[in-house]
Amino acid sequence: MPRRLVLKMNVSLDGFVGRNDGDVEWIFPSIDEELQEFMVDLLGQAGAHVMGRVTYGDMAAHWPTSDEPYAAPMNDIPKIVFSRTLTEGTWPETTVLSGDLSTEVARLKAEDGDDLLAHGGAGFARALIGRRLVDEYRLVIHPVALGSGLPLFTDPTDLTLVSSEPFPGGAMAVTYAPAGAGPGAE
> Cβ(6)–Cβ(136) under 8 Å?
yes
Say how many C-beta atoms besides its own lie within 10 A of residue 14's C-beta: 13
For residue 104, count CB atoms less than 10 angstroms from its CB and return exposed for 0-12, middle for 13-18, buried for 19 or more: middle
Segment holding 106, helix H or strand E: helix 101-110
Q: What residues contact 51, with CB distance under 8 A and at least 6 apart?
A: 59, 79, 80, 81, 82, 118, 119, 120, 121, 124
* Structural fold of domain 5-178: Dihydrofolate Reductase, subunit A (3.40.430)
pLDDT of residue 64: 93
DSSP-derived secondary structure for 3-55: --EEEEEEEETTSEEE-TT---GGGGGG--HHHHHHHHHHHHT-SEEEEEHHH
Domain assignments of the chain as residue spans, ordered by start: 5-178
> Cβ(124)–Cβ(51) under 8 Å?
yes
pLDDT of residue 1: 73
Q: Give all strands (DSSP E) within 124-171, no chain letters.
A: 136-142, 150-151, 159-166
pLDDT mean for each 10 residues of the chain (186 residues): 93 97 94 96 95 93 93 94 93 95 97 94 95 98 98 96 98 95 52
Assessment of whether the complete model's pTM goes beyond 0.85: yes
> Cβ(79)–Cβ(89) under 8 Å?
yes
